[in-house]
Amino acid sequence: MSHILMTQPMMPSIMDALDARFTLHRLWEANDVDAYVRDVGPRIKGIATGSSHGSTGAALFERVPNLEIVSTFGVGYDNVDVADAARRGIVVTNTPDVLNDEVADLTLGLLIATLRQIPQADRYLRAGRWADAVYPLSPTLRGRRVGIVGLGRIGKAIARRLEGFDVRIAYHGRSRQPDVAYPYCATLLDLAETCDVLIVITPGGPETRHLVDASILKALGPNGVLINVARGSVVDEQALIAALQTGTILAAGLDVFEHEPQVPQALIDLDNVVLLPHVASASVHTRKAMGQMLVDNLDSWFSGKGPLSPVDETPWSRP
């Protein structure tokens, strides 16, 4: 059986499935990681890794010279050095599509919770304050102009849901999509100036680091709302804190942070932000589907059928 290195704990169903098909090496159980990798490295043909914690790149690839494939758990794969993997002829896969609906649902829930102040109202009631006074009126989604940063698979699923709320939708990405009817903004600044809700669902990585900075938040304006369900690195977190503190924007809903799982106390102390612990795809149903795709990619590769969902940068062309 082929030897697989798993870099971090995953759901029992994933580990059980990999154990049944491969010789599985659990990196996090090693007392001395360096010594462990030196020992098993030459035997490793595949890596199973998460999509947002730790780093899978040259330092590890050097020690697993016979590596053929990295199978990531998640649609994002910015923790994998895909450029280095491509140079070495290593295939990288992710788990697209199976989490689109779950993330889109959560995004709409986070948007409504942020605008209608659902967590704040819940805290108000639990504190016994309703008997003293009714909860203050909240902002609304009515009449809003929503901009989507990154109109990929999940972005489109979000947009379809937003259509049911009768809001205006525009988008920004690397290029205009010919089959999309929503207005396109050539720059993110144009989108922020056009909209008063900005939903971020673009990939992470060096190219998008701090894409949403102080200038974008200023353009979004004092009635503006930022929703980030992408990667924490896409938003300049300190600029966002300042914008929320000073009223540069109205509110924010965040599922991701720059240095997860650490969240700045300044964000926690603010009452105009809704904070979630990176749970956009975190339902039992969806995580099982993601785990199955991770396993299926490895199973398909080592059965000689090729990867099921190779990422764009991967050195693989389907016959």
Q: What pLDDT digit, counting tens, does each position of 244-259 carry?
A: 999 999 999 999 999 9
Q: Are residues 68 and 154 in the same domain?
A: no
Q: Are residues 126 and 271 in the same domain?
A: yes
In this prediction, residue 190 carries a pLDDT of 98
Q: Are residues 128 and 271 in the same domain?
A: yes
Q: Is the pLDDT of residue 53 over 60?
A: no
> In this structure, is residue 173 part of a structural domain?
yes
Whether residue 193 lies in the annotated active site? no
Q: Are residues 38 and 107 in the same domain?
A: no
In this prediction, residue 118 carries a pLDDT of 98
Residue 103: closest CA among 255, 311, 208: 255
Catalytic-labelled residue, pool 116, 145, 168, 260: 260
Q: Are residues 139 and 194 in the same domain?
A: yes
Q: Are residues 184 and 53 in the same domain?
A: no
Q: Are residues 258 and 112 in the same domain?
A: yes
- How many percent of the chain have pLDDT more than 90? 92
Q: Are residues 77 and 129 in the same domain?
A: no
> In this structure, is residue 136 part of a structural domain?
yes
- Residues 109-145 have pLDDT tens digits of 999 999 999 999 999 999 999 999 999 999 999 999 9
- Residues 185-233 have pLDDT tens digits of 999 999 999 999 999 999 998 999 999 999 999 999 999 999 999 999 9
Beta strands in 74-172 (DSSP E): 91-93, 145-149, 168-172
> In this structure, is residue 10 part of a structural domain?
yes
Mean pLDDT of the chain: 95
> In this structure, is residue 319 part of a structural domain?
no
Q: Residue 209 contacts by C-beta under 8 Å, 6 or more apart in sequence? A: 233, 234
Q: Is the pLDDT of residue 169 over 80?
A: yes
Q: Is the pLDDT of residue 243 over 90?
A: yes
- How many percent of the chain have pLDDT more than 70? 98
> In this structure, is residue 56 part of a structural domain?
yes
**Confidence band, pLDDT 50/70/90 cuts, at residue 316:** confident
In this prediction, residue 96 carries a pLDDT of 93
3 state DSSP class of 12: helix
Phi first, then psi: give them for residue 34, nearest 5 degrees.
-60, -45
Q: Are residues 247 and 116 in the same domain?
A: yes
Domain span at residue 183 reads 100-275
- Residues 267-300 have pLDDT tens digits of 999 999 999 999 999 999 999 999 999 999 999 9
Whether residue 231 lies in the annotated active site? yes
What are the angstrom distances between the C-alpha of 87 and each of 74, 82, 313, 315, 316? 23, 9, 10, 8, 12
Q: Are residues 114 and 228 in the same domain?
A: yes
Residue 250: closest CA among 274, 221, 229, 228: 221
Element (H, E) at 292: helix 284-302
Whether residue 116 lies in the annotated active site? no
**Confidence band, pLDDT 50/70/90 cuts, at residue 52:** low
What are the angstrom distances between the C-alpha of 162 and each of 108, 229, 259, 281? 8, 15, 30, 19
**Confidence band, pLDDT 50/70/90 cuts, at residue 78:** confident
Domain count, the chain: 2
> In this structure, is residue 313 part of a structural domain?
no
CATH (domain of 178): 3.40.50.720
> In this structure, is residue 214 part of a structural domain?
yes
Q: What is the pTM of this model?
A: 0.91
In this prediction, residue 100 carries a pLDDT of 96
Q: Is the pLDDT of residue 313 over 80?
A: yes
If you average pLDDT over residues 152-172, what whole number do you get?
Answer: 97
Q: Is the pLDDT of residue 319 over 70?
A: no
Q: Are residues 10 and 156 in the same domain?
A: no
In this prediction, residue 54 carries a pLDDT of 57
Q: Are residues 172 and 59 in the same domain?
A: no
Catalytic-labelled residue, pool 144, 172, 231, 287: 231
